[in-house]
Structures are given as C-alpha cells and as structure tokens.
C-alpha cells in the first residue's frame, strides 16, 4: 500500500471486463507493488446465485485489491459487500458507469446515474453491511445530458449515503446508439468537470479516469485531483507501470526486469498447469510485456499460437524468445500494440 500520507486511490488500474481477472491482477502485481487493482465487474446475481469462489477467489499477492459490483438492489448489494469483506478485499466499488446493453437490461451500471437516490440508498446499505470503504465509479453524464450540474448533483446526493470516494470517467455514457467500445472513445473527454468536482467537494476523494496515457499526463492530473485510474494503457503496455511505485506512490523502484517478470509469470503458469487449469487463459494478459522492443511481435505470436497450448509454459517461453531474437536479427523493428 502507498504510505499513509498518500491516498490509497492515488493510482489504480481500472476494472475491465474480460481482462482484469485474478490472473491479470497477479501479473500486474509483479510490476507494481502499490497500485490499487480492481476486479472485473461482478453482478450481484452471479455472486448470490452462482459460483462464489470462481468470482471471488484471489491471491494474497494481489493486495491492495478492490471488488467492483454491478447491481441496483440495495439488499443484494449489501449482501455482496458483506461477501467482499469475508473474502478479504480491501474495498468494494459500485459500478455506475458501464453502458453495455446487458447492464441496461439489468437497470444498473450507467443507468443508475438517473437514480441518484437509489445509489445513495445502496451505498448506505453496503456501508451498514461491511466496514470496507464503499466507493462509486461513474460517468460525468448520460446520453445528451452535458451539464456539469448533473454530475455535481449526482455526487452530492450519493454522498448523503456515506460515500466519500468517487471515481469519475470523464465522458458521458451514451445508452443509445453507441457500443461499449465506442463509449470509451466517441463521447468527448471533459477533464475540467472532474477538476470542478474536486473544487466543489474538497473533502471527498475524487479520482479521474478516461483516456489517460503516460506518466506526464498522470502527473498533470494529480495537480487537480486525488487520484488517477488507468485502463487500457496499463493492459496493453503493462511495463508503463514499472516506475509508478517510485514516482507516484512513495515506494522504491521495482528491482526487476522484463525478463524476470516474465520468468515469475511463467512459474505462475506452470502452477496453473500442474493444477489442471488452462494456462493460456492467464498468459494472454502478459502479451504486451515486451511492447516496443525489437522482436516483440514474434514473441507475442508464439505465445498466442494455439498449437503451443499443449506445451509446458517454460518451453513456450523458450520458443518465444528464440523467435524474438531471430526476428530482431533479421531487422524487425515494429512491435504491434
């Protein structure tokens, strides 16, 4: 964890569906010790009526780690918040920003920004059920509502339920006409709205999310808000996190190389294989490790080759590096993102 003088939310990796599973978080933790990590969004129905260990189990190495919930019923969210505490999470977060059709059918995610009082009551119920920090991740608006007053009033209302930490994706969520992918790029970024929230609610922790790339951008945003959450940049180029502990989180520099990170991850994959799990479900999360280095594309191709899945991870790693060296020697200089 960051030193107590720094906010626990100073730097985090966003919850990303199909990406930030326990294997991804284990890999990210090899690169950064103190950055806060989030699970994928897990619905209350999946937890209360499904396989709880599959959704909730994680490795001790992943701390600090937060569970993100999707749901709109205060009682169900409270029950899941209690589970989060029982399982040992460091935080429970309510998703009020996802715009997918599945989420809309369930009337949660970004839809909840229309029902601030319900979010307030949900937060209050969750806080009554556990002692973990209860946080909310949301957008600055929905559809064509582009007034700052909308998000200001949302935060003010939800705060009455006891929430003091707001993670703000600085785009609107368009619930009609855009796919979830387009919702991450087409609605314009309005960082100034997030800055204004910090000015209007100085006692709250305000975390900015959306389109942030690179340490210099992180540093600029931290001049205005309490924290920054990084999404796809951290996933596609994970080595960008290597200096976050030292630069932003009051820790020491990571005394590891890409080679040693890969070696640690290969050990993890070997343990998965020994327990009869498909290691390829975990290896996909490290495909960006060598991004920008000569031979990286060939290295990725080997790890992604379905014919390799019958081999031991150590052998795949050996073949991947042999292929990368050959590609580099023959002049490959481009590493696909």
Q: Where are the domains of the chain?
A: 11-248, 258-329
Is the pLDDT score of 220 beyond 70? yes
The active-site residue, picked from 24, 80, 98, 111, is 98
Annotated binding-site residues for FMN read 15-17, 68, 137, 169, 209-211, 231-232
* pTM (predicted TM-score): 0.93
pLDDT at 105: 63
- DSSP annotation string for 297-309: HHHHHHHH-GGGG
Q: Taking CA 224 as the corner, what is the angle to CA 219 and CA 228, rounded to the nearest 5 degrees?
A: 55
User: Over the stretch 295-308, which tens digit does the pLDDT of each residue have?
Assistant: 999 999 999 999 99
pLDDT at residue 95 tops 90? yes
What fold is seen in the domain 11-248? TIM Barrel (3.20.20)
State yes or no: is 98 an active-site residue: yes
**pLDDT on residue 336:** 38
E strand segments, the chain = 11-13, 36-43, 65-70, 91-96, 134-142, 165-173, 205-209, 227-230
Count the Cβ atoms, other than its own, within 10 Å of residue 141.
Answer: 23
Q: What tens digit of pLDDT does each residue of 18-68 get?
A: 999 999 999 999 999 999 999 999 999 999 999 999 999 999 999 999 999
Q: How far apart are CA 309 and CA 321, in angstroms?
A: 16
**Segment 175-208, tens digit of pLDDT:** 877 777 787 778 899 999 999 999 999 999 999 9
Q: What percent of the chain has pLDDT over 90?
A: 82
Q: Are 2 and 80 in contact (CB under 8 A)?
A: no
For the chain, the average pLDDT equals: 92
pLDDT of residue 334: 44
Please enumerate, by residue number, every residue annotated as part of a binding site.
15-17, 68, 137, 169, 209-211, 231-232
Q: What is the pLDDT of residue 102?
A: 65
Question: Which pair of tokens denotes residue 278?
Answer: 């498909």
Radius of gyration of the chain (CA): 20
pLDDT in tens, 127-172: 999 999 999 999 999 988 989 999 999 999 999 999 999 999 999 9
What pLDDT score was predicted for residue 180?
75
What is the structure's pLDDT at 337?
35
Residue 333 has pLDDT above 50, yes or no: no
Question: Which residues, including other chains, have CB under 8 Å from residue 76's CB and lie 6 or more apart?
Answer: 44, 45, 48
């Amino acid at each position: 964890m960051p030193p107590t003088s720094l906010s626990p939310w100073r730097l985090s990796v966003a919850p990303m569906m199909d990406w930030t599973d326990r294997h991804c978080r284990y890999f990210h933790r090899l690169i950064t010790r103190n950055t806060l990590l989030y699970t994928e969004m897990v619905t209350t129905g999946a937890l209360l009526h499904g396989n709880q260990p599959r959704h909730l189990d994680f490795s001790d190495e992943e701390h600090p780690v937060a569970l993100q919930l999707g749901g709109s019923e205060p009682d169900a969210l409270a029950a899941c918040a209690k589970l989060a505490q029982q399982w040992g999470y460091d935080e429970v977060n309510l998703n009020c920003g996802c715009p997918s059709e599945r989420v809309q059918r369930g009337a949660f995610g970004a839809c909840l920004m229309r029902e601030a009082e319900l979010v307030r009551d949900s937060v209050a119920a969750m806080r009554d059920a556990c002692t973990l920090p209860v946080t909310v991740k949301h957008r600055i608006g929905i559809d064509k509502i582009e007034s700052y007053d909308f998000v200001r009033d949302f935060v003010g209302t939800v705060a009455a339920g006891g929430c003091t930490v707001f993670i703000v994706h600085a785009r609107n969520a368009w619930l009609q006409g855009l796919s979830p992918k387009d919702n991450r790029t087409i609605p314009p970024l309005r960082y100034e709205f997030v800055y204004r929230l910090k000015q209007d609610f100085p006692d709250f922790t305000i975390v900015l999310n959306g389109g942030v790339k690179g340490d210099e951008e992180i540093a600029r945003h931290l001049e205005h808000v309490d924290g920054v959450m990084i999404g796809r940049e951290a996933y596609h180029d994970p080595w960008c996190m290597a200096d976050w502990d030292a630069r932003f989180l009051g820790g020491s520099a990571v005394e590891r190389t890409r080679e040693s990170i890969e070696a640690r991850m290969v050990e993890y994959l070997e343990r998965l294989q020994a327990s009869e799990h498909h290691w390829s479900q975990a290896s996909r999360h490290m495909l960006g490790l060598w991004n920008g280095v000569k031979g990286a594309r060939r290295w990725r191709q080997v790890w992604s080759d379905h014919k390799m899945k019958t081999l031991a991870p150590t052998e795949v790693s050996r073949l991947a590096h042999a292929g990368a060296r050959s590609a580099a020697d023959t002049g490959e200089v481009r590493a696909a993102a």
